[in-house]
Structure 1
Amino acid sequence: MKTRNMFMLILSAMLVFVLAACGNNNKTAETPVTETSANASGSSSDASGSDELTIKHKLGETKVKKNPQKVVVFDFGILDTLDKLGIKVTGVPQANIPPYLSKYADKDAYKNVGSLKEPDFEKINALSPDLIIISGRQSDAYDELSKIAPTVYLGLDTTKFMDSFKENMTTVGQIFGKEDEIKTGLEAIDKSIAEVHDKAAASGKKALIVLSNEGKLSAYGPNSRFGIIHDVLGFAPSDDKIEVSTHGQSVTSEYVAEKNPDYLFVVDRDAAVATDKDGEKAKQTVENDLVKNTNAYKDGHIVYLDPNYWYLSGGGLLSVQEMVKEVGDSIK
């Protein structure tokens, strides 16, 4: 009898243990696991589903809500990109807008937020923007603009033009959920670059790039503002010792004649700021008797680049594609 009672006690204890274990297993299976998702820019999504990105840029780190609705843009290259992507913009500096982006000069449809070098803080503040995008000309105003709204610097680093350009485009794609469109656009540009580079390299010709400004010339070489012609598109420089600076190296017609480029690429600043609408001022400055002795002039290889792309909006999905095409079309 005692043996039977002992057996029953052991059996009951085992049953209680098994039931307890099953209960714990069920509890574990029913407990949800909370995960924090992060994207390529290091941003995270909170439990409510609203995305916030942390954008790292030259001037710091900025937290930005994905798909911002009210956007102020101070860089025409970024404006070019947003326009191509069909993204709505609220405010822009309306002076010297490139003609192909002329719709943004409409003061009824878009707010004028100052000039490229002098943002109108009061007007910007009144817009209560969700995002402000700037580049080099507004870098000094970064701290003040950041007090108004999240501000991101997307200027080009011309010492690594394509890397910098692609980083900016990738950032735009992340902010506005246009990653696929950006990828497609960059692939098309890369294809065009490869074709032009092959043509330029095969030609064996040397090039010189100059900016014409109020009767004066400045030269630009590799790693410079317009150095994409050398660094990316494959033209060897006529002078590989040109000082790298934003405003270029001041040169004379004698210098151009001495370097004797096979191709002379000209950016007409006066045309970009509408003081030389027909380009005659630049032509008179460049095509004098000294320059007429160069291979570039004799072979018909003085190329006047579109200043709207090269001077005003370089760094956009459309502008870079057009810049590459323009150089490619000039190779004969």
Structure 2
Amino acid sequence: MKKNNGWKRLGQAGWALALACSVMLTGCGSSETAAPTANPESSQAAQTQTRTIKHELGETVIKGEPKRIVALEFSFVDALWELGVTPVGIAQEKETDVEGLLGQKIEYTPVGTRQQPNLEVISSLHPDLIIGDLNRHKDIYQDLQKIAPTIILKSRNSTYQENLSSFAKIGEALNKTKEAEQRLAKHKEFIDEQKKKIPAGDSRKVMLGVFRADSLSAHGAKSFDGELLEMVGIKNAIQDAPEPTVKISLEQMVQWDPDVIFLVEADDALLSEWKQNPLWNNIKAVKNKQVYNVNRDLWTRYRGLKSAERIVEEASEVLYGKKQE
């Protein structure tokens, strides 16, 4: 995991690039009135040109503009959708995953789970690009490369800034760099506007917890949602964890003593046990009735730009009583 200063520099650089692009696009005027006549020769050249994409496991040569794309993580599906591309294949765990992510049903072929993609099904789709996750798919990278050009990016257990970088890289792979920069600029504008609406004097610290069978998986300041909320001024209770998520005991939770808990009840048996313990009732969030249930898919699994914006809106609504518009 990169050190804190590292991802801050990455985030500043990424935002600077997006902002510069946004200014450039504004100065160009309406594309509707200045749209050039389609050039068949230019279109043909775009389909035959090659470019080398650097990613987490090396470099991959991509020819033309990929159309048949297999996405093995939800944040990649979100990125493709935001860039106007519908994947032909998507890894998922349940039928409602993609509809929950995008807010509508789309046509695609399931290609196994994110943990265990089905290589045979992927191959049958004849993709011209596969996008895999570093955490989940590094061991099958060579197998995926035999099927189609594959890029491996960060999604699971990555920071918010690393997900922004993955979005930009997908734009590059699709030959849609300008479109990706424009969407990132729009996202930055959203974050900046939300930040202005968070009360400066609010010193409360929040914790997102996912209950497992034997422990609570807490999302710290370096997690996707933790870093995202920090960007708008909502502080995380866990600032010094070396990893994005950490398994903690009830005693450790008491030590961090969050003011607000966003709770994902993946396994309510442990939560029921903790509620019988006096230590649980001594946590500030519990004493002040500041424990809120949140959707596990949205807060911990999707990790896309649109999902990030929905998380910020939901957190603002919970903390301040109304949706920050």
Closer, same or farther in 2 for the Cα pair 1:230/1:92, shift >3 Å?
Answer: closer
Aligned to 2:206, what secondary structure does the other structure show?
strand
Closer, same or farther in 2 for the Cα pair 1:311/1:157, shift >3 Å?
Answer: closer
Equivalent residue number for residue 22 of structure 1: none
More off after superposition, 117-126 vs 225-234: 225-234
Equivalent residue number for residue 192 of structure 1: 190
Mapped to 1, the partners of 2:69 and 2:91 lie a distance apart of: 12
Map Cα deviations across residues 207-231 of structure 1 (whole Å, 9 max, x no partner). 2232212363122322235432564
Equivalent residue number for residue 323 of structure 1: 311
Map Cα deviations across residues 258-297 of structure 1 (whole Å, 9 max, x no partner). 33211122234x3xxxxx7xxx668646655533333223
Map Cα deviations across residues 4-61 of structure 1 (whole Å, 9 max, x no partner). xxxxxxxxxxxxxxxxxxxxxxxxxxxxxxxxxxxxxxxxx99955232211111111
Equivalent residue number for residue 28 of structure 1: none
Equivalent residue number for residue 256 of structure 1: 253
Q: Does 1:302 align with 2:255?
A: no
Closer, same or farther in 2 for the Cα pair 1:324/1:184, shift >3 Å?
Answer: farther
Q: Does 1:62 align with 2:39?
A: no
Q: How does 1:183-222 map to 2 (within 5 A)?
A: 183-198=181-196, 199=198, 201-214=200-213, 216-222=215-221
Q: Does 1:151 align with 2:150?
A: yes
Indicate conservation of the 8 Å contact 1:65/1:175, yes or no: no
More off after superposition, 236-245 vs 299-308: 236-245
Aligned to 1:202, what secondary structure does the other structure show?
coil
Aligned to 2:201, what secondary structure does the other structure show?
helix
Q: Which residue of 58, 61, 77 maps to 1:79?
A: 77
Map Cα deviations across residues 185-218 of structure 1 (whole Å, 9 max, x no partner). 3233223323444526530112223221236312
Structure 2, unmatched stretches of 5+, are 1-41, 321-325
Using the TM superposition, give the Cα deviation of residue 123 of structure 1 relative to its aligned residue in structure 2, in angstroms: 1.9
Moved over 6 A (4+): 102-106
Mapped to 1, the partners of 2:195 and 2:275 lie a distance apart of: 27
Indicate conservation of the 8 Å contact 1:54/1:62, yes or no: yes
Structure 1, unmatched stretches of 5+, are 1-44, 271-275
More off after superposition, 192-201 vs 208-217: 192-201
Give the TM-score normalised by structure 2. 0.71
Mapped to 2, the partners of 1:115 and 1:141 lie a distance apart of: 14
Q: How does 1:120-199 map to 2 (within 5 A)?
A: 120-135=118-133, 136-156=135-155, 161-162=160-161, 164-198=162-196, 199=198
Give the TM-score normalised by structure 1. 0.70
More off after superposition, 110-119 vs 52-61: 110-119
Using the TM superposition, give the Cα deviation of residue 238 of structure 1 relative to its aligned residue in structure 2, in angstroms: 3.0
Greater Rg over alpha carbons, structure: 1
Counterpart AA for 1:320: A
Aligned to 1:319, what secondary structure does the other structure show?
helix
Closer, same or farther in 2 for the Cα pair 1:237/1:323, shift >3 Å?
Answer: closer
